[in-house]
């Protein structure tokens, strides 16, 4: 259980609290002092930082209570495989807001240094049938609760975490590509050649949570940016979308946000009749779609080619 404690501490320190345990400076009862309950849930890191308070007093604050945290150490492979306890990440994609600007895609490609031409986020021009409406459908990894890709992986290189995220350990992947065949959402890509990354990226130790740097001969895919979640921030695609198409959050907290708006997840999906892709396959995705009704933009497919006629 020791490892669990550590991960819990790191997560909470990073996300939950702007609340502070102030040590050493408080004189008398301070009305602005945080609740005892707050202090209880955080374990101090032991590293103290001296700051100036608004009253002009010098205070010492444990680094674990600082928010935002200036820098977080990368979690170990073992912790990255377990995930963040007590969380269940979900995404809601509002199809009525998407006009295929693909800012999500470029932000994702940049932040993960993906091979040029390949994409972890794809934006499909969709049309179910001849007389039904066309719409744009962005897809990320679905982070299925019963992931077919994880079932078939021979070496535990791709795995399902307790917070619902499916990740890839590129230091372990043997490149058999069974997971790519197993995924019905075509979400996985393979690094067919050396990526020629800039040295400062290529030399980084690989982290399952950042999925950087991608390595030749291994599989890559959308990772829901758990490194950002640990920092209490949103995935890159969510914050990059100017139209607020992507909403990300914790199902346990029952809320999702696109950065500017925050909704109760259960209400949003209920009121707007959210659904998941290929429900009949039993994969139980963590990505929900809101149907493309009352759309903000008309559907315009500038690069309309004959190849996109299938649903």
197 lies in the site for another protein, by CB under 8 A: no
Smaller CB distance to another protein: residue 213 or 249? 249
Residue 293 CB, nearest approach to another protein (Å):
21
The sheet with strand 246-250 has its strands ordered as 262-264, 255-257, 246-250, 89-94, 287-290
Q: Are 104 and 138 in contact (CB under 8 A)?
A: yes
The yes or no reply on residue 178 touching another protein (CB under 8 A) is yes
Site for another protein in 200-259 (CB under 8 A): 216-219, 229, 232-234, 236, 239-240, 242, 248-250, 252-257, 259
> 3-class DSSP state for residue 20?
coil
Q: Is 176 in the site for another protein (CB under 8 A)?
A: yes
Member of 6, 45, 53, 76 binding another protein (CB under 8 A): 53
The DSSP symbol for 75 reads: P
In the complex with another protein, which residue's Cβ is closer, 146 or 271?
146
Does 262 interact with another protein (rule: CB under 8 A)?
Answer: yes
Nearest to 164 by CA among 84, 254, 255, 277: 84
Instruction: Out of 48, 72, 152, 202, point to the residue binding another protein (CB under 8 A).
Output: 152
Return the residues of window 112-151 that contact another protein according to CB under 8 A.
117-119, 122-125, 139, 145-148, 150-151
| Torsion angles phi and psi, residue 81, rounded to 5 | -80, -25
Both tokens of 86, joined, read 């007590």
Q: How far apart are CA 270 and CA 254, in angstroms?
A: 12
Selected from 133, 174, 273, 293, the binder of another protein by CB under 8 A is 174
Residue whose C-alpha is closest to residue 98's, from 247, 230, 205, 249? 247
* Residue 41 engages another protein in binding (rule: CB under 8 A): yes
Is 56 among the residues that bind another protein (CB under 8 A)?
yes
């Amino acid at each position: 259980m020791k490892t669990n404690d550590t991960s819990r501490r790191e997560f909470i320190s990073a996300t939950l609290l702007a609340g502070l345990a102030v040590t050493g400076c408080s004189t008398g009862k301070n009305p602005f002092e945080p609740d005892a309950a707050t202090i209880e849930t955080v374990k101090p890191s032991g590293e103290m930082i001296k700051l100036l308070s608004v009253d002009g007093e010098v205070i010492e604050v444990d680094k674990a209570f600082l928010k935002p945290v200036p820098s977080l150490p990368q979690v170990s492979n073992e912790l990255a495989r377990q995930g963040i306890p007590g969380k269940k990440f979900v995404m809601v994609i509002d199809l009525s807001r998407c006009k295929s600007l693909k800012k999500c895609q470029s932000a994702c490609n940049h932040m993960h240094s993906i091979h040029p031409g390949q994409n972890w986020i794809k934006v499909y021009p969709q049309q179910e049938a001849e007389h039904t409406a066309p719409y744009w459908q962005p897809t990320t990894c679905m982070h299925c609760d019963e992931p077919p890709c994880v079932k078939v992986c021979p070496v535990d290189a791709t795995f399902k975490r307790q917070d619902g995220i499916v990740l890839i350990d590129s230091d372990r992947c043997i490149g058999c590509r069974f997971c790519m065949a197993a995924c019905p959402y075509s979400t996985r890509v393979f690094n067919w050649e050396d990526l020629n990354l800039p040295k400062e990226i290529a030399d980084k130790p690989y982290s399952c949570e950042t999925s950087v740097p991608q390595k030749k001969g291994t599989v890559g895919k959308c990772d829901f940016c758990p490194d950002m979640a640990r920092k209490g921030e949103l995935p890159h695609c969510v914050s990059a979308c100017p139209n607020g198409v992507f909403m990300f959050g914790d199902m346990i907290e029952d809320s999702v946000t696109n950065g500017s708006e925050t909704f109760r997840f259960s209400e949003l999906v209920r009121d707007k009749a959210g659904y998941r892709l290929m429900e009949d396959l039993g994969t139980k995705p963590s990505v929900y779609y809101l149907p493309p009704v009352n759309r903000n933009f008309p559907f315009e497919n500038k690069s309309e080619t004959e190849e996109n006629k299938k649903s």
